[in-house]
Structure 1
């Protein structure tokens, strides 16, 4: 089972005054992103997810869809079997209190309490507000991709014992939206999310954020609470 994680580190080789200046700039940019995201009642985004470990000869890409109602803490993440297929591989659903993790291949749904805080584990919806709890951040400059300007920010977890030690965000300078997040762990894995489309205030019914047993006959329920 793949875990989706969002964390990071900042590599700093400059004086403390420069750090303070860049840190302030990063905070201002991230605050704009977070405020804009929280102003929406609901969002829908399509993304691609790549796991890359050159030493192990592993490179896997999947596509996914996220729907979220941030104010209510509700989300649904769907990962597909490949970058081109739309067959469901895994779903993570939360109504803010309970989380369901559906593993289609195993015909199993795991039930647990919804995770608290903003650590980003198993929940790509937290990409938009990940920096708010437990992270330091550093603005590292501007990049251009296909003629568009993106602001790069490195995050580092305050707890240096975490396996994932670095996440690099690219933020669309004009739209003030996160374009991509690249994560690095201590085992040599790199995880990369790239937003393919973003729909604010998407029409989403509340029942989208709960497990529908009738629609999944024969699926074993494993209660981990």
Structure 2
């Protein structure tokens, strides 16, 4: 009986190991595709769902990305990051906050950091292939290895045909879901480095708040 239980345990362990290997291989391929894409533009929808309050908040936006640089436009404002400095323009107040964000801070806003977050600190499980809007996507579930993390789970869907991230769902310990859905994605776009930094001339009335 003990021998049979040992065999079952070893079989389950090997399945879990294969699932983790498959998940990492899928994410590695998607991350590599982004890193080799050059300039990228993407239209996206961001949804926040609060299960306890039955509330939903949603908005559309556009992202411009090149390596670790990005510019993100949403209805409330614009964020620029040139690889070191970040500018956040708030439309209602016409205020620009300048900072040098840490690596942890960038994980919440940087597309490059988000697409590479799986590399450390997470257990990975391949959940299989699914059909979403007539496309085949590969789904990977990530759970943090660190106890007490604010994030309890991240679910990533990747377009099987293109290896492009198509949906990322982040679930926190309160049950809140933040869902990033990429609507369209264009690679090889010629994006000047100046696009990723704030230009005062374009916003002459903006109040500058330097937080560095």
TM-score (norm 1): 0.83
Q: 1:78 aligns with which of 54, 65, 73?
A: 73
In structure 2, runs of 5+ residues without a counterpart are 1-10
Aligned to 1:64: 61
1:105 aligns with 2:92: yes
Q: 1:18 aligns with which of 15, 19, 29?
A: 15
Cα distance in 1, alignment partners of residues 106 and 141 from structure 2 = 15
Cα distance in 2, alignment partners of residues 119 and 77 from structure 1 = 13
Cα distance in 2, alignment partners of residues 219 and 15 from structure 1 = 59
- Say if 2:108 and 2:114, in contact at 8 Å, map to a contact too: no
In structure 1, runs of 5+ residues without a counterpart are 1-13, 81-88
Change (3 A) 1:95 1:214: same
**1:145-181, Cα deviation, whole Å (9 max, x unpaired):** 2322111101122323221211100111111111101
Aligned to 2:32: 35
Aligned to 1:186: 173
| CA shift for structure 1 position 118 | 9.0
Q: 1:202 aligns with which of 177, 189, 192?
A: 189
TM-score (norm 2): 0.88
Deviates more, 1:52-61 or 1:26-35: 52-61
Q: 2:117 aligns with which of 119, 130, 137?
A: 130
Give the superposed CA RMSD.
1.8
| Greater helix fraction, Structure 1 or Structure 2 | 2
**1:61-112, Cα deviation, whole Å (9 max, x unpaired):** 1011111111xx21111112xxxxxxxx122211111111121112211111
Query: Which runs of structure 1 show a deviation greater than 3 angstroms over 4 or more consecutive aligned residues?
Result: none
Change (3 A) 1:118 1:129: farther
Cα distance in 1, alignment partners of residues 61 and 113 from structure 2 = 15
How many residues get paired? Answer: 202
